[in-house]
Structures are given as structure tokens and as C-alpha cells.
Structure 1
Amino acid sequence: MISTTSLFTPVDPDLRILTDNLKKLIGARHPILGAAAEHLFSAGGKRVRPAVVLLVSRATMLEREITPRHRRLAEITEMIHTASLVHDDVVDEADLRRNVPTVNSLFDNRIAVLAGDFLFAQSSWYLANLDNLEVVKLLSEVIRDFAEGEILQGLSRYNSDLSIEQYLEKSYYKTASLIANSAKAAGLLSEVASEVADSLYDYGRYLGLAFQIVDDIFDFTGSTEVLGKPVGSDLASGHITAPVLYALEEKPYLETLIEREFSEEGDLEKALTIIKESKGIERARQLATAHAQMALQSITCLTPSPSAQALKDLTDYVLSRLY
């Protein structure tokens, strides 16, 4: 399996600068926010989103050095992503993320909500300071999409009538919007042609959707150690994802278990067994593969370079996590 460490080699030094800067940017105007920020940015995430921004920046600047605005965009992207995770954990009442205690479990929900708000506000301020209206519009849309995604997810809990299209729309809001819009924004800062900017957006959109579908498959195939949370916990919370939707087409009894919100003894275990015995996981894998291939197709316009190659390899990496 490919690791993100080797994948992100072209932007390794950039990512190190990013992590140092993030801790400084959040900085300690308030000790608790400082502690939350230190905790969040040290939690060892894969940094996929800022890495995509930096790879796109390098792949579109080629012989020229990337600018401070490119770097700041990568930082803003990671801030927005982290803010969304903090709010996610509050909504899901999660105690662990990547096996590290969540901000809401360390401090409490009120502080966690405020820490998330603070990160969104900080990122908006840094965004405005890029002085590029087009980029401001793209990333403001992302912040709106996150909220919309959370609301859609809240409204569609235990809803077995969800369609694959609705599931993909919700996944776009929650995951793909940030990758798509920030990839396009990085291209705009490099002053690429508008067709190239649109292709970068498509790349991020399809990559983000593939990423989300793979994550949703993990809820059924991963181990608690890898997931950092119990297997089937998304399903238990009522999140109806691709493997479940496909399994429902084959096994109507699953609907009964979902509609009664797994309220009877052994319901969740039965549901997990039904999903594993169906073609749901396999069909979800095919859906992820199709999206990863569309992501790859989207960036054939880039001039060959180590960074462009890394963006292509990233589409394989997303799928390699499945095996």
C-alpha cells in the first residue's frame, strides 16, 4: 500500500512549514483555544487537503517558486477542515478521533463549538487578506457547504429512502467541496487558464467523493484500532451510506432494523451481518473506483512534473486504503 509520506515527497518541506505556521496562526490569545489548537494540529492527521493545495500549487507554478499566498491558502484549507472536524465531533458526541481524545471530550461541548467557530472565523479573516475575490468566494462557499452537509446529515438519519444521488450530494458538501474549491483556488493563484481551473475543481470533487465513499466502507470493514472508533458506529448513529444503500436493494429486512433505529437487542449486529453478506460493500468499492478514475481523467491537462504525478498517484492511494 502507498503511504501518504512517500506520496507527498514533493511538498514535504512545505507541509512541515505548514504545521509550524498553523500553531502560530491560532496562537495563544486564549490559553484554552491555544491548547485546543496545539492538540488539533498535533493529532497527526494525514494533511491530505493542504497537501493537495500545495501539490496543485507546485504543479501549476512549475519553474516558478510558489507564493506566500499559495502557502496561506493551504493553511486556510487545513483550518477549515479542522474546524469542521471539531463541530462534527460535537454533533456526533465523539470521544475519540484518530485514537486521540476530541476537543469536546477534553474541554466540553461549549468550548469545542467555540473553538470550531474561532477556527472558521480565523480562516475567513486570513482568506479575506489574500485579496483575491474569486478565491474568497470559492472558500466561503466551502464553509456554507459544511453547514449544509451537517444539516442534511442530521435530517437524513435513519432514513432508508435516501437515494445514491442524495448520498453523493451530502458527501460533496461534507468532504469534496473543500478539496474541489481549494484545488481550483490554488490554480487561480497560479493564474492558470479557466479551463484548467475547472479541471482542478473536478479533480478535487471526484477525489473527495472517492475518499468519502472509502471512509464509509471502512465503517464496516475496518478495525476499531484503525478507525479510532467502534466498527459500525456510523450506522449506529443512523448515517446511511453507500454500502447500506446498496445492501437495502438486496435485503429489504434491513429497512425494518434501520426504521426502528436498532432499538431491539442485537439489531445492530444483525444489520452489520446483512450488509457484509450483501453486495453492498463490493458495489460501494466500484463506486469509489469510478470516482477515482474520473479524478485521474480530470488532470490530464497538467504538464508532467513530480507534483502532477503525486496528484495522479493520490487517486490510487485513496483506493489502496481499501485493500
Structure 2
Amino acid sequence: MKLISELLAQNERHIQRLIQSRHALLSAAAAHLFQAGGKRIRPTFVLLVSQALGGISQSQQRLAEITEMIHTASLLHDDVVDEASKRRGIDTVNTRFSNRIAVLAGDFLFAQSSWYLANLNNLEVVKFISKLISDLAEGEMRQTSTQFSTQFELWAYLEKSFYKTASLFACSAKATCMLSNDHEDNHHHKNMYLLGQHLGIAFQIMDDVLDISGDISQMGKTLSADFVSGNLTAPILFALTQEAGLVTLLERECCYTQDAYQVRQMVWDTYGIEQAKDLAFEHMQAALACLASLAPSEAKDALYDLANQMISRQR
């Protein structure tokens, strides 16, 4: 987005400098995923919220960098847990280097982001952002503990999605308010937290929809990776309520080659994709309602555009 494009470029350069380590292999592994590109939705979100609240301070710009580092660190760990081979169209760090190096690189980024966070000199923000790091671990644990469970329910999926994805949006949005000139305005704190929460959940639902319905040439990762590894997502959960045959496939853990195709077909036939998209749209609408309290601005308009892009994206 033109409004913040130069700040995003600065963030990118700053992160690249920050991840330099005395150990060349660790630096190379940590830089690998950053160099692959990405949508940079999280720092974009933080910077737009900052601008919409009255202007982007240096602390808020640092917060945008912190959120991207935390997100990238979580991806490194997730790829190890999921045994993923591709991310953004390139080999994952665990594939190119090793699981050990990928875990260490993720730890390194978490440590660097924590050091960066401490230098904001705002104890309340430190506490709040530290919580989201524990939320990421909670989400991963919930996902791992419910693999292939046909008793997994939609409410539990939404809770897991909050911990894995939406917490970062919600906590960073509220932290942005804490670092703004109107840091004592609790109304904005609540609204921006809810904005991030609903936007993050909508984003995760669409990610799960695309895992089943996306174009492999655009996705940059293996399709159907979620349910093949046992992660039951919104489209599948909706389909489970309508298609008994889906239970059999999941209970045998999609162990046959044709199982993945059959699961996808059942999800399409039962309108699981459409129902999941409707749910994502509901959360996007709830997110947009939270923007009503902000004064009219170019940044507010850009947040509306960002929300719509997150719902309509194809990868």
C-alpha cells in the first residue's frame, strides 16, 4: 500500500540487519524465509492501525517489525511440527537445512523479538505481546492434540484459530493503541483488539478454505496439507455434519492415496467451502464494525481494503 510502502521497506531492511548473527548458518536459516517474500499482512496491519489512530511513532514502527519476527519464528516451528516441505513456493528451512536448525532459527527470532520488545520501554506492552507468544504455543498444542478427531467441534476450532492466528492481530492492535497518543482511551483499546481478533479469525478460515480449494500454482505450498496431517478445519467440520462417509476417511487418517481426493470431493459436495466462506465473511463484517469508531482517514479506508483483500485472496 502506497500509504505505508516506504515504512514497510524500512522494516524489511531493519529486520534483515537485526537477524544477523555471529553464526553464519543460523543467520542464513533465519533469513531464508524472509527472503522468500510474503504478504507482510501483520506489519501492514499494525502500521495502518497506528496511522488511523493519529500517526506512526517510532515505537509503533518497531512493534510492526516485532510482529513480523514473531510470526516468522512461529512459521519456522510450525513447518517442523507439520513436516512441511514448501512455504511461499520455496523449500522450508527444515527441508533446506534441518529440523534442528529450523527450531534454533525460530528460537533465535523469538529471542531477538523479545529483546526488541524490551527496548520499547513499555512494561504493559511487553506483558501483552509476551502473552501472544504463549498463545501461539497454546494454539499449536490444541491442534496437535486433536488431530483426526471427528469429535472436534466448530467452537473449539475457532478457539484454536484465535490462539494460532488471531491473537497476534488482536494483541498487536491493542498494543498499538497503548503506544499511541490516546493510549488511555480504553474504547479504542477494546475496538482495536476486537478488530484484530475478528480479522485474524477470518484470515485463518480463508487460509483453511484455500488449503482445500486453492490453486496449487498460486499457493506456494502443498494443497490439502492440513487435513492430510489431521488438522480438521472449518470446511471439513461443516461437511462432517452432513456426510457420514467423511468420518470413515478421517478415522483411518487418510492413509490411502485416494483419500485426500475423496475428502475434498465430499467437502465440495456438502457445501463445506461455501459455509466456511460465509463464516469468514461474518467475522470480517464484525471486524469492519470495529472500525466505525475511528475518524475518517486514508488509513481507515486502507484498513477496509485490507480486510476485503484478506477475504477475497486466492493464496
TMscore range, shorter length: over 0.9
Residue 138 of structure 1 corresponds to which residue in structure 2?
128
Structure 1 residue aligned with 2:63, among 63, 66, 73? 73
2:83 to 86, 93, 102: 93
Q: Deviations over 1:174-208 (max 9, x none)?
A: 10000110011111100431110110010000000
- The answer for unaligned runs of 5 or more in structure 2 is none
2:141 alignment partner in structure 1 = 151
Matched, 1:34 2:27: yes
Instruction: Please say if residues 86 and 222 of structure 2, whose CA atoms lie closer than 8 Å, have aligned partners that are also in contact.
Output: no
Q: How many residue pairs are counted as aligned between the two chains? A: 313
Q: In the alignment, does 2:305 pair up with 1:313?
A: yes
User: CA–CA distance in 2 between the matches of 1:32 and 1:183?
Assistant: 34
- CA offsets 1:33-78 (integer angstroms, 9 cap, x no match): 221232222111110001111111111124xxx2221111111100
1:1-323 correspondence to structure 2 within 5 Å: 8-62=1-55, 66-192=56-182, 193-321=185-313
CA distance in 1, matches of 2:295, 2:314: 29
Question: How far apart, CA to CA, are the structure 1 residues paired with 2:314 and 2:40?
Answer: 19
Task: Kindly indicate whether the alpha-carbon contact (under 8 Å) linking 1:220 and 1:276 is maintained by their aligned counterparts in 2.
Answer: no
Alignment TM-score, normalising by the size of structure 2? 0.96
Q: Is the 8 A contact 1:184 1:197 kept in 2?
A: yes
Paired AA for residue 25 in structure 2: I
Q: CA deviation at 1:320?
A: 1.5
Give the stretch that moved more between structures: 213-222 or 225-234: 225-234
- Higher mean alpha-carbon deviation, 195-204 vs 27-36, is at 27-36
- In the alignment, residue 240 of structure 2 is paired with which amino acid? L
Q: CA deviation at 1:137?
A: 1.3
Alpha carbons of structure 1 residues 72 and 265: separation in structure 2 relative to 1, 3 Å? closer
TM-superposed deviation, 1:231:
2.3
**In 2, Cα distance between equivalents of 1:141 and 1:121:** 14
Q: 1: CA distance between counterparts of 2:196 and 2:283?
A: 10
Distance 1:264 1:81 in 2: 33
Task: Give how far 1:263 is off.
Answer: 2.1
Name which of structure 1's ranges 191-200 and 13-22 shifts more when overlaid on structure 2: 191-200
Identical counterparts, % of pairs: 50
How far apart are the structure 1 equivalents of 2:263 and 2:38?
Answer: 31
Give the superposition deviation at 1:265.
4.8
Is the contact made by 1:90 and 1:112 (CA closer than 8 Å) also made in structure 2?
Answer: yes
Q: How many angstroms does 1:264 deviate by?
A: 3.6
1:250 counterpart SS class: coil
Report SS of the residue matched to 2:124: helix
Distance across 1 between alignment mates of 2:38 and 2:257:
36
Given residue 202 of structure 1, which amino acid in structure 2 is its aligned partner?
L
Deviation at 1:268, TM superposition (A): 2.1
Task: Determine the C-alpha separation between the residues in 2 that align with 1:197 and 1:27.
Answer: 34
RMSD: 1.3
**CA deviation after TM superposition for structure 1 residue 322, in Å:** 5.5
Are the equivalent residues in 1 in contact too, given 2:214–2:314 (CA < 8 A)?
Answer: no
Tell me if structure 2 keeps the 8 A contact 1:223–1:230: no
Q: Which moved more, 1:223-232 or 1:11-20?
A: 223-232
For 2:203 and 2:51, locate their aligned partners in 1 and report how far apart those are by CA, in whole Å.
22
C-alpha separation between the residues in 1 aligned to 2:258 and 2:166?
Answer: 34
Query: Within 1, Cα distance between the matches of 2:28 and 2:244?
Result: 48
Once residues 206 and 265 of structure 1 are traced to their aligned partners in structure 2, the CA distance between those partners, rounded to angstroms, is: 36
Unaligned segments of structure 1, at least 5 residues = 1-7
Tell me how far apart the structure 2 counterparts of residues 317 and 211 of structure 1 sit (CA, whole Å). Answer: 10
- TM-score under structure 1 length normalisation: 0.94
Q: Bigger shift: 273-282 or 220-229?
A: 220-229
Distance in 2 separating the partners of 1:103 and 1:142: 23
